[in-house]
Amino acid sequence: MDKFVIEGPTPLQGTIPISGSKNAALPLMAAALLGDSPTTIYNVPKLRDIYTFNNVLRVTGARVDFNEEDGTLTIDPENISFLEAPYELVRKMRASFYMLGALMGKFGEAKVSLPGGCAWGPRPVDLHIEGMKTMGAQIDLEQGYVIADSEDVLNGGVYELNPSSVGATINLLLGSVLKASEFTIKNAAKEPDVVLLCEALRKMGADIEGIGTDTLTVRRVDSLSGIEIDNAPDRIETGTFMIAGAMHPESEVTLQGADPSELGAFPDTLRKTGAKVEINGSTIHVKAPEKLKPISVKTKIYPGFPTDLQAQWSTMMTQADGDSKVTDTIYYDRFSYVPELVRLGANMNVVENTVHISGKTPLKSASVMSTDLRASVSLVLAAMVAKGATDVLRIYHLDRGYEDLEDKLSQVGASIKRVDQDA
């Protein structure tokens, strides 16, 4: 098992390339199973979750070819014969649960393990299951597996997501485009990942109305064709590096290959801290202020402040001059990083779903341990402004969602090394 050893404090200076989005690629990979010919996806990142999902697809009999050098992934569904996603693979990442919609939607049946993934908090799949039932599918639970069965044509109906859910919206789209006579998803997620999936499905031949809104109506088609499609840049990686560029008063970074249109109000929120943010096409330039202003935020569904950036924002607020608070209205218990930041010297206190932060506090090195993907990267951000050598343990979480993180940060001035944790 590896760890990062990070020597700080180090300002960041230079250019960082933005990788393709994991969260956008995974639904596209599942959608490829619905086609009658191969699908090729470009700009796919080299991440543990991508490799895991490749293996999930291969178990079914799909042919998966991943050219890591240029990020090209081709999926051929022609020989799919095993309509199951086993526990050994699904437990490693929640997105494997998309196999429920993909396999049922294409073949009328599926056996998919209940998912695993990040350790924090309940993220139930009830919405996925109830939506499938509303659509007309038969859903049963057996020994930790969801068993789905459906007729060739389902009546469909109307299902309202409460709360709105990216994962459930994606799964219901995958399950309905080849099955439901007419199926409407109300309070559907509007995240860019959902919009890209809808556009991909439509390109494949699906009939979807309301793309980009919170009401999606699907009308079944007889078949879908494989396509070629570009994956989106990773907006959470983009936001993470924007925060990294604002935390140290001497930092100044340029992000290339981003899609600022997918960031919602985040750039304006970052500007409120005093950071200078300039956007020119797919390039974002961030210059840190001499003094960070404390800015409180609440996470909201897109286009509001992303829950996937709240740990990073809270970490930055430890370096702001004054008090702030960060409230997560999406996941109430996503604060596992707080005790670790306190070990580094942060003054933070969690009350229900809000972390209260008093800054500015000097951070000092210590060994810290992460429990999920975004918590991991928040510890990396803290270590880069902490004095001394900080060990960040369990970085396998980072390998799930940040491509070449240590290389990208090293190239802009960070002192970060990957070493054997047990050495």
Average pLDDT of the residues in 388-410: 94
Question: Does 9 appear as a known binding residue?
Answer: no
Average pLDDT of the residues in 32-60: 97
Residues 261 and 300 in one domain: yes
pTM: 0.94
Among 212, 230, 248, where does a domain finish?
A: 230
- Over the stretch 216-242, which tens digit does the pLDDT of each residue have? 999 999 999 999 999 999 999 999 999
Among 230, 248, 267, where does a domain finish?
A: 230
Residues 163 and 250 in one domain: no
Among 180, 201, 230, where does a domain finish?
A: 230
Residues 6 and 37 in one domain: no
Q: Which domain holds residue 31?
A: 22-230
User: In the structure, what pLDDT confidence band is assigned to residue 116 with cuts at 50, 70 and 90?
Assistant: low
- Over the stretch 349-360, which tens digit does the pLDDT of each residue have? 999 999 999 999
- Residues paired with residue 217 on neighbouring β-strands, in sequence order: 184, 209
Distance, CA of 181 to CA of 177 (rounded, Å): 9
Residues 194 and 331 in one domain: no
Question: Does 297 appear as a known binding residue?
Answer: no
Residues 341 and 255 in one domain: yes
Question: Does 33 appear as a known binding residue?
Answer: no
Residues 59 and 109 in one domain: yes
Catalytic residue among 31, 103, 118, 206: 118
Angle between helices 166-176 and 126-135 (to 10 degrees): 30
- Over the stretch 307-317, which tens digit does the pLDDT of each residue have? 999 999 999 99
CATH of the domain at 338: 3.65.10.10
pLDDT over 80 (residue 122): no
Question: Does 308 appear as a known binding residue?
Answer: yes
pLDDT for 117 equals 42
User: In the structure, what pLDDT confidence band is assigned to residue 195 with cuts at 50, 70 and 90?
Assistant: very high
- Over the stretch 173-190, which tens digit does the pLDDT of each residue have? 999 999 999 999 999 999
Task: Please return the burial class of 237, using the count of CB atoms within 10 Å of its CB with bins 0-12, 13-18 and 19+.
Answer: buried
Residues 378 and 404 in one domain: yes
Query: Is residue 348 within a helix (H) or strand (E), and if so which, with residue range?
Result: strand 347-351
Residues 253 and 144 in one domain: no
User: In the structure, what pLDDT confidence band is assigned to residue 373 with cuts at 50, 70 and 90?
Assistant: confident
Secondary structure (DSSP) of 384-408 = HHSBEEEEEE-THHHHHH-TTHHHH
Question: Does 271 appear as a known binding residue?
Answer: no
User: In the structure, what pLDDT confidence band is assigned to residue 120 with cuts at 50, 70 and 90?
Assistant: very low
Residues 332 and 261 in one domain: yes
Question: Does 395 appear as a known binding residue?
Answer: no
User: In the structure, what pLDDT confidence band is assigned to residue 119 with cuts at 50, 70 and 90?
Assistant: very low
Q: Does the active-site annotation cover 118? A: yes
Residues 325 and 187 in one domain: no
Give the highest mean pLDDT range of 47-61, 83-97, 117-131.
Answer: 47-61
**Residues 6+ positions from 418 with CB-CB distance below 8 Å:** 2, 3, 4, 395, 406
What's the token pair of residue 134? 């509303």
Question: Does 124 appear as a known binding residue?
Answer: yes
pLDDT for 118 equals 40
pLDDT for 158 equals 98
Average pLDDT of the residues in 98-125: 78
Residues 130 and 215 in one domain: yes
Question: Does 5 appear as a known binding residue?
Answer: no
User: In the structure, what pLDDT confidence band is assigned to residue 124 with cuts at 50, 70 and 90?
Assistant: low
Question: Does 58 appear as a known binding residue?
Answer: no
Of residues 281, 290, 297, 282, the one with CA closest to residue 252: 290
Q: What share of the chain is helix, strand, coil (3-state, %, to 5)?
A: 35, 30, 35
Question: Does 287 appear as a known binding residue?
Answer: no
Residues 267 and 411 in one domain: yes
Average pLDDT of the residues in 134-149: 93
pLDDT over 60 (residue 121): no
- The CB density around residue 184, as the number of other CB atoms within 10 Å, is 20
Who has greater pLDDT, 374 or 124?
374
Count how many domains the chain has. Answer: 2
